[in-house]
């Protein structure tokens, strides 16, 4: 019986990834044409190897396009078609969490089916970031202040065609994962997963987001923002001031009912991605020694 070359290559790459035993080998594997923390690319002294690998993967996918259209063993794709994974309120851990989330993506989806938008960290316009795209099922965006301020992302994010691939074709449907590391007002236009603050379990938040569940924190039925979790609820509008972040400042959202006093509790609600409340628990009851929300 003839061996299916597409399945054979998928299995080979997956086995290579699973056999990476340390941080250095994992980084080297992902640098060879796959999605990678963009800081690892920017700090690299030589991108020739990565460009060569990107071209090879693109050519391989183009040569096997007919077989890939019928292939269905990509791995476990995320539920959301296009969603923002908001890391902006993590000050100390955002880069580490981003790196870990990227690794989780490659754990879920075969690395051959994950494309990194702006794979060299050099794009000056949004469509440049798709230069080596060749029909991968997942596109990962890493959006920092530079991209958010200087590049018009919306047309590229909403485009129904990339490099001649018709994304409206059900066989070419794509899942878009937007990691946002700095403030972006337009994030509210997309399905938004709050990746919490530094003390939250990022793996739990990401894994739940992958299957379509979002976490929102609330006190006595009132959903609270990360700013309030970090600094407490302001007593007046004068108490709300921008706070320092990495390389920038941010003006937090102001609760509408600033002057209203409410009894505090540690109730945490879990919502599904359609917004229905599916479960809740009280940390005071389940974990009497805890000092904040518990997952």
pLDDT digits 0-9 by tens, 165-221: 999 999 999 999 999 999 998 999 999 999 999 999 999 999 999 999 998 888 888
pLDDT-derived band at 235, boundaries 50, 70, 90:
low
What is the model's pLDDT at position 231? 83
Mean pLDDT, rounded, for 275-286: 46
Phi-psi region of 3 (alpha: psi -120 to 50; beta: other; left: phi over 0): beta
Output the pTM of the full model.
Answer: 0.79
Over 90: is that where the pLDDT of 230 sits? no
The answer to whether residue 251 scores a pLDDT higher than 60 is no
The confidence score (pLDDT) of residue 46 equals: 83
The answer on pLDDT for 245 being more than 70 is no
What is the pLDDT at residue 242?
Answer: 43
pLDDT in tens, 127-144: 999 999 999 999 999 999
Q: How much of the chain, in percent, has pLDDT values that exceed 70?
A: 78
Query: What pLDDT, on the 0 to 100 scale, is given for residue 243?
Result: 41
First to last CA, the chain: 49
Mean pLDDT of the chain: 82
pLDDT surpasses 50 at 241: no
Question: Domain extents for the chain?
Answer: 5-211, 216-286
The model's pLDDT over 17-49, given as tens digits with 9 standing for 90+, comes to 999 989 999 999 999 999 999 888 888 878 999
What 3-state class would DSSP assign to 159? coil
CA dist list (Å): 201 to 43, 222, 232, 264, 280? 28, 22, 20, 22, 17
Q: What is the pLDDT of residue 247?
A: 46
Query: CA distances (Å), 294 to each of 194, 205, 266, 277, in order?
Result: 15, 12, 9, 17
- 268 closest CA partner among 287, 240, 289: 287
Put residue 268 in one of left, alpha, beta given phi > 0 → left and psi -120 to 50 → alpha: beta
Kindly state the average pLDDT of the residues 72-85: 93
Is the predicted pLDDT of residue 78 greater than 90, yes or no? yes
At 232 the pLDDT is: 80
Residue 154 has pLDDT above 70, yes or no: yes
- Report pLDDT digits (tens) over 260-273: 444 444 555 555 55
């Amino acid at each position: 019986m003839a061996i299916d070359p597409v399945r054979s290559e998928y299995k080979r790459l997956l086995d290579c990834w699973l056999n990476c035993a340390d941080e250095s080998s994992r980084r080297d594997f992902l640098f060879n044409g796959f999605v990678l923390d963009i800081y690892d690319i920017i700090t690299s002294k030589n991108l020739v190897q990565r460009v060569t690998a990107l071209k090879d993967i693109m050519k391989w996918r183009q040569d096997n396009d007919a077989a890939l259209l019928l292939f269905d063993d990509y791995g476990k794709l995320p539920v959301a078609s296009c969603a923002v994974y908001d890391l902006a309120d993590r000050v100390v851990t955002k880069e580490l969490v981003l790196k870990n989330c990227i690794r989780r993506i490659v754990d879920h989806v075969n690395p051959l089916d994950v494309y990194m938008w702006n794979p060299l960290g050099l794009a000056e316009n949004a469509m440049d970031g798709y230069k080596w795209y060749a029909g991968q099922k997942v596109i990962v965006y890493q959006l920092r202040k530079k991209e958010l301020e200087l590049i018009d992302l919306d047309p590229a994010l909403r485009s129904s065609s990339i490099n001649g691939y018709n994304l409206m074709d059900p066989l070419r449907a794509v899942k878009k994962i937007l990691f946002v590391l700095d403030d972006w007002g337009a994030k509210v236009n997309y399905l938004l997963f709050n990746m919490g603050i530094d003390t939250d379990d990022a793996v739990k938040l990401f894994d739940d987001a992958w299957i379509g569940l979002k976490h929102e924190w609330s006190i006595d039925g009132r959903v609270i923002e990360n700013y309030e979790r970090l600094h407490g609820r302001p007593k007046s509008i004068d108490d709300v001031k921008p706070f320092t972040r990495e390389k920038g400042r941010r003006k937090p959202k102001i609760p509408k009912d600033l002057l209203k006093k409410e009894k505090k509790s540690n109730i945490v609600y879990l919502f599904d991605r359609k917004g229905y409340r599916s479960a809740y628990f009280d940390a005071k009851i389940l974990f009497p020694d805890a000092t904040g929300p518990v997952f």
